[in-house]
Structure 1
Amino acid sequence: MLLAVDVGNTNVVFALFEGREIRARWRIATDPRRTADEYAVWLLQLLAIEGRGPGDVDRMIISTVVPRARHNLAVLGQKYFGLTPLFAGEGAADWDFPIEVEAPRSLGADRAVNAVAAHAKYFGDLIVIDFGTATTFDVVDFKGAYKGGIIAPGINLSLDALVNNTAKLPRIAIEAPRGNSLIGRNTEDQMLIGVYWGYVAMMEGLIARLRAEIGRPAKVVATGGLALLFDKHTEIFDAVDADLTLEGLAILAAKADAA
């Protein structure tokens, strides 16, 4: 079985694949100081709950945007699973598609992995939106080439900036505003309307401009934890795919096996 690890700025997601099917997934807060032993104490117990053990894992692949987490995860693979992990974008798991930006190696591994999965699953020209710590918009053409994209503050970052830089505004949770009115009747509703509907307007505006620049019909694929929250109140998504990054890792691992 394949153990795929997606390291983001906020969370690390571990997924256990059997073939191309995810059999289990687990999430832990990102902490670059977390040692291989600490990961193992947590992960091996979760594997046991699923009736699995280290011997069931015969491959491991990691995508990380947190360089300091890399070493400890590599040690986790070597010490507890007897494996040398693949790293997305390197060696046998290197990208096999054109990255048409000024500094290709500066492209985040998560965004490149999303491009791999989106092209394999949805075809045609694509705009991939990933709702993470930052919200990214990535353009992949019908040939699978990565053309570039946009980086915007994630909605939680935007809300944190609003709360942390004002004296009287309260901390609120992100959720869809009640009703359809844009006229808030209290402070909390006004904040939620501003952040939520402002974010929807930003996405709709950027997608319209990207489609116009691409000049061909482009599907919009959304992934990340908040995609479903926005899908309820906008028509811009053609698909919401929560496991896009993990599936991209499985595709890369399979290509490495075949090489």
Structure 2
Amino acid sequence: MDTRNDTILITGGGSGIGKAMAEALHARGAKVIIAGRRREALEAVTAANSGMAFETLDVADAADVKAFAARVIAAHPDLNVVINNAGIMVAEDGIDLDIAEQTVAINLLGPIRLTAALLPHLKSKARASVVTVSSGLAFVPLAATPTYSATKAAIHSWSQSLRHQLQDTRVEVIEWGPPAVATDLMPGHAENPNSMPLAEFTAESLALFEAGGHDEILVERVKFLSGAADRGEYAAVFAALNGPR
């Protein structure tokens, strides 16, 4: 990514890490388009950041994804980066099919559908990037959010495969795996002292994006989870996260 010259689409850009990264990239000089379901939130962000654009999008709606892709390409033909950030995180007591199906539709099918819709356009560019947003929980699951953790593990796997498939094209695939960050993604995250401050997370992530050469953007805080298996500490980290089995 060239964070000063790219034209970047960020889903889930009306709040949380999507909003913070959109504003940071916009301040760097990139052309930024944010997308999400809540028009009011998108309007507030763009009003506060002159020159930033927005489009409404429900990533869980396959038809809306196709229509959105056509609109955003027509309105922003220089688009060469998509950050698939939109997601939900909901606690489940046992198996809750409504939560599970909604989480899969947004967190997993959403990025797959949007990337598929935009990929022919991205392949036409001199350089382009698909950024997928996974999580530290892709590597060690949080038992209280089983479907969220599973979708992020799936995104991690899918990103590796997509990267391999696109290796002979001009489209790079970058996985961005946050730790717990102080946002409203889930009740209590913003106030939890163990959550990484949003400004700190954004600054460290942006520095890694700008350095280039990374297939995965992993801040130091997330490596406790992402590196657990490689360190031979998976069981211990799982227990630290979830309590003993």
TM-score (norm. length: structure 2)? 0.30
TM-score (norm. length: structure 1)? 0.29
Q: Bigger radius of gyration, 1 or 2?
A: 1
Which is strand-richer, 1 or 2?
1
